[in-house]
Structure formats: C-alpha cells, structure tokens
Amino acid sequence: MNFVALKMLVGDRAKYIGIIVGITFASLLITQQLAIFTGIMTRTYGSISDLGQPDVWVMDPKVQFIDDIKPLQDTELYRVRGVDGVEWAVPLYKGLLKARLSNGNFQTCNVFGLDDATLIGGPPEMIDGRIEDLRRADGVIVDEYAAVGKLANPPAFEGAPSTPLQVGDVLELNDHRAIVVGICRVQRTFQSQPVVYTTYSRATRFAPRERKLLSFVLVAAKAGVDPRELCARIQAATGLAAETRDDFKWKTVLYFMKYTGIPINFGIAVLLGFLVGTAIAGQTFYNFTLDNLKQFGALKAMGAGNGTLLRMILLQALLVGLIGYGLGVGAAAMFGILSRNSELAFRLPWQILAVTAGSVTLICMLAAVISIRKVVKLEPAMVFKG
Amino acid sequence: MYQPENAAVVCRGVTKVYGEGGSVVQALRGVDLDVRAGELLMLVGPSGCGKTTLISVVAGILDPSGGQCLVFGEDLAALPQRKRTAFRGKSIGFVFQAYNLLPALTAAENVAVPLLILGEKRSHALERAHAALERVSLSDRSSARPAQLSGGQQQRVAIARALVHDPRLVVCDEPTSALDADTGQRVMSLLRDVAIAPGRALIIVTHDSRTFHFADRIARMNDGRIESIQENVAETTTAEGRT
C-alpha cells in the first residue's frame, strides 16, 4: 500500500507542493537562524580558537569572557611558572587600541601582545610575511579582513577604491608608529574589529599607561599532566582563575548567552520558523487528508485496517518531511556558501542538521497525528452515503 | 442460528438504531434475510428505508444493535476488529454509488488496490488487475486516470476492482444511480455477466426499477423491514424489457 500512499500524495500536486513548501520554509528558517546563531557564538571565542598552543588560560578570577580584560600583575607570570606540571607559561596582552588612518579617521583594533622570546599565541596562518618579522622595529601583523577593509588605505580621491594595507605600510597605534610586517588569517571576532599582533613589550608600550597590563598567562601542561588537573593546581597555588581552552570557550559563549539578547532573538526566529512550518504543513496535510477521507473510507471498507492507513499517512508525512528537510537544509547551505565572503556569521555543524531533522520530524508527526486521528475514527460506512 | 444449505448470508432479527435519547432513529426493525450463494439479490425500496444500513451490517462495516447476521457462517459483529477487516478484505467486494476510485491512480492501479490490501506484490496485483479490466472490456483504458474516464467506464473499473480478488460476496450500493439509463443497463448487464459465479452472492441496493429484471430475487424494504421477497424476477419481468 506504500505505492498507493505515495501516488495519493503526489497526485494532489497543489497540496503536495504546499506541504513541502511549509516544511522547506521551516527547515530553512530553523537551519539558517541556528547556523547564524552558531556562527556568532563561534566568533565570540574566535581569539581563543586562534591561539592553539596553550592548554590553559590563566586570568583574573573576575574575568567572564575573552574580551573582559582584568589585568594581572606581571609577577603572576612567575607564580604560574612555579606551579608543578607547567611546561611553559608566557604572557599575553590583549586590549583595544585606536589606530589612526592616513585620512585622519580612527579605528579601534584588537591588539595582541605576544611573548617577545617565543611569539607563542601568534596568528594561526600567515598570508604575507613571517611571524618572526614581529621582531623588527615597530612591527605589527594585521589580519587580512582588516587589511582590505577597516584598515585599508583610504582612496586617493573620491570614488576611487581604497588600497589594501600591505607589508611595509605604516600605521599609527595609539600615537605610536607601527610598521606592517605581515598579513595573517584569523577567525573573525564577535565585534569584527581589526586584529593586530605585535610583541608583548611593544603592545604594552602602545597601550595607555596602567599599573597592570598582563591580560592572560598562557600555559602548556607537561606531558602526561591533565589540563583540568593543572587548572586546579594553578588556582590553588595562585588564587587566579585557570581554564582549559575548551572551558574558556564555553565560559565565553555562556556569558554571551546569558547577558545578551542574542539567544532570545534567534530563539524567537527559530520558534517562529517551527510554528509557521507546523501551521502551514499541518494545515495543508490535514486538508489533504480531509480531501481524501472518502478514499480512506473506501480503503477501510475494502479491508485496509487502521494499521495500514496509519502506515500510509506516516509514509506520506515521511516523504514530504524528507523532501522539505532536504530542500530547506540545501537552501540554508547555499545561503551559507553564498555569504562565505561577507560579514555574516554562518556556521553549519552536523548538530544543527540533527536539530533541524528533529524539528522537521516533529512537524511531520504533528501534521500526521491530527490526520491519523481523523482517519482512525473514520466510519467506513460513510462511503455508502453517496 | 440455523443456516440454510447454500446460504451466503443469513440475517435474523437484525435491528439498527442510530442516535440516543430523543433523537433515536430506528433504521432496521428486525430484518430476516437469506441470500444464496450464486444468486443476485436486489434490495429495493424508498430512500431512507434502511437498504444501505442493511448492506453495511451485512458487509461488517456497521455493527447491528440487535439480531445476528452470518456471512458464509461468520458472525462478523462477533469478530475482533482486525479479523473482521481481514475478512472483509478477503471475502467481500464493494461497488459504490460514487465509484470511490482513487483519482491519483490509473484504472489498473485502482483495480489492484484490494490485492495490495491483501499484501500481494505490486507486479502480480497489476497483472491480475489487467485481467480483471479485460473482463469488463476496459483493457485499452488501463492507464487512464478516473478523471479521463466516463461515468460508465469508472463504474466498470469499480466492478473490476470489486471482483479482482475473487470475493465470495459482492455488495453494490446504487451502482447505476449516477449513470444514464443506457449506461446503467449496460453496467447491470456486465455486473450480472461477470459477477455471478457459483459460490458467490451478489447484493445490489437500488431504487432503479429499470434494472430489477437483472435480479434472481428482489427484497423490498420499507421503514426498516423487509416487506416481501420476490422470486424468479428475471423470468417474470422479461416483458419489462431486459437489455
């Protein structure tokens, strides 16, 4: 009877397309909104992802997320280095400094100051220049998006394109001369500010005078030492907060989830997609069943049991669900591909596909259940009523 | 319950009440009816007299309020729902007034539906459906959808569908009421030619007096009761003009 069920469904083209459109819409909206939400959340910890070498981040206990800088005394670095299980520990400066462009405009930059000796914490990928070039006088490395965008040299005349920042160009960072010695590729950050790398000593020179300038201590665990165990030891020994890379990412994400309206806004969009999809698909599927009630009655009279009819309706729901899911997810993926080089945050891990699949299954089940109820209660004698 | 020899259907004291309280409708008021295997019995009577209710009870798609109805020895009302549905699928063929063909299926696929319900493989079911369509002279229209067929052709497809699984009882509800007189005569003639078989009973509900001569017996109903059963009608009504 599967064949009959499918032909019944496909035979009513208008309703068939209507149901698929409803599910596609829901699937697209759920996938796309969740992917943008995940993309934005991923950007909140983009800087942590870029710093792949350290196992543990040490910070002031009051720090709530990566951009929440509460500087430490420089001496904390030595205390951390003294903890048993620490392979190495290096300082990291992270702060927002103003860059002055050649046309006089200012642009706030996310400046990272790396350990002068090791340059640990540098950009994950260099496009032009080498990370070691940071040792040259006044050297800075700028991210590629900033080089062609926010830090690009302004156009020579109105209407002309701006010139991308290149190795050798000069910047002014907080009234200090900085020379671009490299262009790197980094993950985009939540605030999409230009990312500038330099050495720790130079960054603290660029930064406004403060008593404490050490933002984080980056730590690697000795071989065989569990990073979580090391965090506990550092906390016990120094009174500072210590987080593994993954825990710090989660801490950052949870901060944004808790203290910003982002999850609520996206949650509402996802819920709307779900509700509208359910309403359209459910209503159309129910109408489709109502239109075929006489046929279902005839099948029932001819010996098709409730189990058979239930399987037929579930198969119909499964088919429209699969097609709608495929189209919706496909359209969302296409949207992601097309917006790859834009400012839009879009990340589509398999978990989102699973959530969308679950939501679409729920929509189809809801749509099927109201139809099944009608068919199960159907009196086959109604087919004799002309 | 006593069951006469060669009986396909035996109903005794069958009553059916619809509704409750003040809105009670007594559709059947103690119907006694025997239908023999191999005969065509017509149930006739005015609208609302209980014809359709009676065949619904006989076919096991309505439970009687009282009395008993045996179909080839089986009391369908006493069977569990699942067994009753299975019995209906295997042993009863239906021809409906409004044909009730599935619009999305071709004629052959529609005819194959009872076999598919019984779990037969699609290819085999379609093969048998084509043979059934040949019996009703519609083999050339097997790929047509119901909307592409005339009313008479649709009813012939419905007849092929009712017979394709070789049921022992065929129940037809007003099979000619949606057709013009000539087409109605042809459909009845066809029904008689292809449906009558040894061991198979045919019950036709109709109020079309022009088709009465096709019956072996006519049971006249009125107000929920069988008023009379007329034997050998086919011979006595020849003068009325059998086609």
In chain A, what are the domain boundaries? Answer: 2-43+261-385, 73-239
Structure confidence by residue, pLDDT tens digits, B174-207: 888 777 888 888 888 888 877 788 888 999 998 8
Q: Which member of B89, B102, B173 has the closest CB to residue A384?
A: B173
**Contact criterion met (CB < 8 Å) for B61 and A301:** yes
Top pLDDT among A340 and A182 is at A182
**Contact residues on chain B for A8, CB-CB shorter than 8 A:** 102, 104-105
Residues A368 and A313 sit within 8 Å (Cβ to Cβ): yes
Q: Which member of B55, B104, B118 has the closest CB to residue A7?
A: B104
Top pLDDT among B176 and A235 is at A235
Given CB atoms, is B116 within the 8 Å cutoff of chain A?
yes
CA-based R_g, chain B, Å: 18
Q: Of A28, A24, A21, A22, whose CA–CA distance to A335 is shortest?
A: A28
Give the per-residue pLDDT at B240. Answer: 44
**Contact criterion met (CB < 8 Å) for B100 and A294:** yes
Given CB atoms, is A14 within the 8 Å cutoff of chain B?
no
Once rounded to an integer, what is the mean pLDDT over residues A4-16? 88
Give the per-residue pLDDT at B91. Answer: 92
Once rounded to an integer, what is the mean pLDDT over residues B34-62? 90
Strands, DSSP E only, in chain A?
56-59, 86-100, 106-114, 125-128, 139-143, 170-173, 176-185, 195-199, 216-221, 241-244
Given CB atoms, is A302 within the 8 Å cutoff of chain B?
yes
- Lowest-pLDDT range, A8-12, A236-240, A329-333? A8-12
Once rounded to an integer, what is the mean pLDDT over residues B137-148? 91
Given CB atoms, is A299 within the 8 Å cutoff of chain B?
yes
Nearest Cα of chain A lies from the Cα of B97 at a distance, in angstroms, of 6
Residue B136 has pLDDT above 90, yes or no: no
Given CB atoms, is A311 within the 8 Å cutoff of chain B?
no
Give the per-residue pLDDT at A383. Answer: 73
Q: Of A89, A181, A64, A170, whose CA–CA distance to A131 is shortest?
A: A181
**Contact criterion met (CB < 8 Å) for A305 and B96:** no
**Contact criterion met (CB < 8 Å) for B89 and A381:** no
Q: What are phi and psi of A341, to 5 degrees?
A: -100, 15
Give the per-residue pLDDT at B111. Answer: 95
C-alpha B25/C-alpha B32 separation (Å) is 19
**Contact criterion met (CB < 8 Å) for A381 and B113:** no
Homologous superfamily in CATH for domain B39-52+79-240 = P-loop containing nucleotide triphosphate hydrolases (3.40.50.300)
Compute the mean pLDDT over every residue in chain B, rounded to the nearest whole number: 86
**Contact criterion met (CB < 8 Å) for A305 and B102:** no
Give the per-residue pLDDT at B243. Answer: 34
| Chain B residue at shortest CA distance from A312 | B117
**Contact criterion met (CB < 8 Å) for A4 and B113:** yes
Give the per-residue pLDDT at A386. Answer: 55
Once rounded to an integer, what is the mean pLDDT over residues A237-255? 93
**Contact criterion met (CB < 8 Å) for B52 and A11:** no
pTM over 0.80: no
Q: Which member of A295, A304, A384 has the closest CB to residue B117?
A: A304
**Contact criterion met (CB < 8 Å) for B104 and A3:** no
Structure confidence by residue, pLDDT tens digits, B203-243: 999 888 888 888 899 999 999 999 999 886 555 444 344 33
Distance set, CA B56 to CA B14, B39, B46, B120 (Å): 12, 19, 17, 26
Q: How many CB pairs under 8 A join A and B?
A: 88
- Lowest-pLDDT range, A153-157, B86-90, B141-145, B217-221? A153-157
Cβ neighbors of A145 (< 8 A, separation 6 or more) are A188, A192, A194
**Contact criterion met (CB < 8 Å) for A303 and B117:** yes
Structure confidence by residue, pLDDT tens digits, A20-49: 988 898 899 889 988 998 998 888 888 888
Residue A147 has pLDDT above 50, yes or no: yes
C-alpha B219/C-alpha A77 separation (Å) is 106
- Lowest-pLDDT range, A20-34, A102-116, A146-160, B80-94? A146-160
Given CB atoms, is B185 within the 8 Å cutoff of chain A?
no
**Contact residues on chain B for A380, CB-CB shorter than 8 A:** 61
**Contact criterion met (CB < 8 Å) for B94 and A305:** no
Give the per-residue pLDDT at A13. Answer: 87
**Contact criterion met (CB < 8 Å) for A303 and B86:** yes
Given CB atoms, is A219 within the 8 Å cutoff of chain B?
no
Taken as a whole, chain B contains a residue count of 243
Compute the mean pLDDT over every residue in chain A, rounded to the nearest whole number: 89
Of the pLDDT bands very low, low, confident and very high (cuts 50, 70, 90), residue B1 is: low
Q: What is the ipTM of this complex?
A: 0.85
Give the per-residue pLDDT at A235. Answer: 94
Given CB atoms, is B100 within the 8 Å cutoff of chain A?
yes
Structure confidence by residue, pLDDT tens digits, A106-140: 899 999 999 999 999 889 899 999 999 999 999 99
**Contact criterion met (CB < 8 Å) for A304 and B62:** no
Give the per-residue pLDDT at B239. Answer: 39
Give the per-residue pLDDT at B4. Answer: 67
Nearest Cα of chain A lies from the Cα of B124 at a distance, in angstroms, of 14
Give the per-residue pLDDT at B209. Answer: 83
Give the per-residue pLDDT at B2. Answer: 60
Q: Which of B85, B118, B173, B206 to mutate to test the interface with A (most CBs of A within 10 A)?
A: B85
| Chain A residue at shortest CA distance from B176 | A386
Specify the amino acid at residue A251: K
Residue A92 has pLDDT above 80, yes or no: yes
**Contact criterion met (CB < 8 Å) for A299 and B96:** no
Given CB atoms, is B105 within the 8 Å cutoff of chain A?
yes
- Positive or negative torsion for Cα A150, A153, A157, A159: negative
Residues B63 and B57 sit within 8 Å (Cβ to Cβ): yes
Given CB atoms, is B79 within the 8 Å cutoff of chain A?
no
Given CB atoms, is B88 within the 8 Å cutoff of chain A?
yes
**Contact criterion met (CB < 8 Å) for B96 and A384:** yes
Give the per-residue pLDDT at B3. Answer: 63
C-alpha A250/C-alpha A258 separation (Å) is 12
Query: Within 10 A of A373 (CB to CB), how many other CB atoms are there?
Result: 12
Of the pLDDT bands very low, low, confident and very high (cuts 50, 70, 90), residue A200 is: very high
Nearest Cα of chain B lies from the Cα of A386 at a distance, in angstroms, of 6
Of the pLDDT bands very low, low, confident and very high (cuts 50, 70, 90), residue A372 is: confident
Of the pLDDT bands very low, low, confident and very high (cuts 50, 70, 90), residue A202 is: very high
Q: Which member of B86, B102, B122 has the closest CB to residue A8?
A: B102
Given CB atoms, is A382 within the 8 Å cutoff of chain B?
no
Strands A139-143 and A176-185: parallel
Q: Which member of A11, A300, A305 has the closest CB to residue B104?
A: A11
Of the pLDDT bands very low, low, confident and very high (cuts 50, 70, 90), residue A212 is: confident
Given CB atoms, is B96 within the 8 Å cutoff of chain A?
yes
